[in-house]
A and B are shown apart, each in its own frame.
Chain A
Amino acid sequence: MALRSQLLKGVLEACVMAVVEEQPIYGYELSQKLQRIGLPDISDGTIYPVLLRLQKNGFIRGEMRPSATGPNRKYYFLTEEGKVELEQMAFEWLQIAEPVSQLLKRGGHDERND
């Protein structure tokens, strides 16, 4: 697995929850959206184990609904617990992402402590 895929795997649950929070969405639409927003490493199937895990933990729930294109589809919704979890994940991600980004922008970083 590419390093980028491994890094992504750790935050994929948060990404999926963030997309589901925007609007109830079904599997295919979700995978397309993740790819469109610039995560092409998310292959189509990657999301299903994640969706199952999030459902098992009660962070999202599925409901059969008629889709715009015709037959019923399973749409995913963020639960109240999911909202709390997403907040927490987003907070923790920013704690890591900002300092890491600063650190890795070698040459362009400002040495605030100097």
Chain B
Amino acid sequence: MRGTIKLIKENNDKRELLTSENEKVYEDLLLYIRTDLRVDERAAEELLMDLLDHIIEGQENGKNAADLFGDSPEAYADELIANIPKEDKRNIMLLATSFMLGLAGWFALSYGILNGVISIFIPVDNDFALGSVLLILLALFLVGILGVFIVFRIIRSSVFKKEIQNWKIYVQSGLFGMAGVAFIMGVGYVFEGIGPVIQIQWWVFLLIGLALLGVTKGMSHLSTS
């Protein structure tokens, strides 16, 4: 994991050496490869670094990045992806779990802060039906994971298009975001008051949130890549 982070940082620094034309061509490929969740992250970063070094050296000898990737950069990128080792299943599970815990952590933290601030002015309702809370969390995970897949897919399908219509990406992502929030609120509304009711103070949410985010951070060191 550490090695991969170092590679990503080195990539960011080296990219500044590219001419703006070469940077555009290279960054399209980078985005396309990085948003493919099936490939081994470390192997993908090593390849991206190799290609970046190649473009920089070619650039010094008067070559263009576009020559490197041929007439169809998308087909070339797909050929590369097909030959990169696949991500370890253990890492995918770890990543998904850490993503879910992180999402729940931020949710609890924001909820705690919001309720803490509101409780200064007006008394807040600290009653929570456990069944309903679990269902809302489940809806949150579902929307979160689906969101990553959908947004990545939208990005990937537009990377190599000649005229990138950024507004389309924003509108599509925004619509999904709104649908997601509506879905979570809908679940909360339809399944209100299910299961035993317990009292949770705002600061407990704050602590839960911090603990979950701490666990998420710890988990990132467990990854084998």
Q: Which of A's residues lie within 8 Å of B, judged by CB? A: 26-28, 31, 43-45, 48-49, 51-53, 56, 62, 69, 71, 73-74
Q: Given that A48-B47, A56-B85, A74-B46 are contacting pairs, would A43 and B53 also be in contact in the complex, using a CB cutoff of 8 Å? A: no
B49 near A: Cβ within 8 Å? Answer: yes
Q: Given that A26-B53, A28-B54, A53-B83 are contacting pairs, would A45 and B76 also be in contact in the complex, using a CB cutoff of 8 Å? A: yes
| Residues in B29-54 with C-beta less than 8 Å from chain A | 46-47, 49-51, 53-54
Closest 4 CB pairs of A and B: A52-B83, A45-B68, A28-B57, A44-B68
Provide the bound-state CA to CA distance between A62 and B70, in Å: 24
Q: What is the number of residues of chain B that contact chain A, defined by CB distance less than 8 Å?
A: 22
Partner of A74, one of B49, B76, B80: B49
> What are 30 inter-chain pairs, A to B, with CB distance below 8 A?
A27-B53, A27-B54, A28-B53, A28-B57, A28-B58, A31-B54, A43-B67, A43-B68, A43-B70, A44-B67, A44-B68, A45-B70, A48-B47, A48-B50, A49-B79, A49-B80, A49-B83, A52-B47, A52-B80, A52-B83, A52-B84, A53-B83, A56-B83, A62-B46, A69-B57, A71-B53, A73-B53, A74-B46, A74-B49, A74-B53
B63 near A: Cβ within 8 Å? Answer: yes
For B14, list chain A residues within 8 Å (CB). 71
Distance of B48 from chain A, by nearest CB (Å): 11
For A69, list chain B residues within 8 Å (CB). 57
